[in-house]
Amino acid sequence: MMLLPHPLVTVILTLLWMVLTGFTLGQLVLGVLAGILGGLAYRRITPQRIIVRRPGAIARLFGRVAGDIVRSNYDVARLILAGGRHRRRRAGFVRIPLDMTSPNGLAVLAVIITATPGTAWIEYEPRNGQLLLHVFDLIEGDDWVRTIKSRYESLLMEIFE
């Protein structure tokens, strides 16, 4: 049996343990123990080892998402303030065909879409790769399929696949 089926999970759990308790040798030992146990437990859920590639792509994705979150926060806050007077806003569903199949990539995409106000992940159909999104403000001519695929999916596929 491998002791570290998920090194990334173990490292992050150990770090979290140290941050929450203290940076001493004793806590390091306990933290590593907790990290290894966490990694072993995680293997039960996800046998496949998490592989992350291309740090450059990760940095680019991070910057892009941070900017988008700020912008969409502003947009949604303004729309809520406009309230009843703003009758032209139209919410609706958008179906997006995804090419990405990596579960980890999909999980990160879910985090991105949820963290960005104005888009909500409703359901994903693994049989045909269709993602159903709910969009708060469907602006005419805005191509959501292309936005999601070119802004996020292509980078996520570089990182996880």
Partner 1 sequence: MSHLAQIPPVIALLIAGFVALGTILTLLGAIGLVRLPSFYERLHAPTLGTSWGAAGILIGSMLMFSTLGSRLVIHEVFLGLLIMLTTPVTMMVLGRAALHRDRAEGHPPPGTEGPGQPLK
Count of residues in contact with partner 1, rule CB under 8 A:
36
128 binds partner 1 (CB under 8 A): yes
Q: Which stretch binds partner 1 (CB under 8 A): 27-35, 37-45, 125-133, 148-156?
A: 125-133
Contacts with partner 1, 50-89, as mask; x by CB under 8 A: -------------------xx--x--xx--xx-x------
The conformational region for residue 129 under phi > 0 = left, psi -120 to 50 = alpha, else beta, is left
State which residue, 2 or 142, has the beta carbon closest to partner 1.
142
Distances (CA, A) of 37 to 11, 40, 90, 133: 11, 5, 48, 36
State which residue, 33 or 66, has the beta carbon closest to partner 1.
66
147 binds partner 1 (CB under 8 A): no
Burial of 131 (0-12, 13-18, 19+ CB in 10 A): buried
Q: Rounded to whole angstroms, how far apart are CA atoms 62 and 127? A: 29
Which residues are CB-contacts of 61 (< 8 A; sequence separation ≥ 6)?
Answer: 152, 155, 156, 159
For partner 1, the binding residues (CB under 8 A) are: 16, 19-20, 23, 69-70, 73, 76-77, 80-81, 83, 91-95, 110-111, 113-123, 125, 128, 130, 132, 134, 136
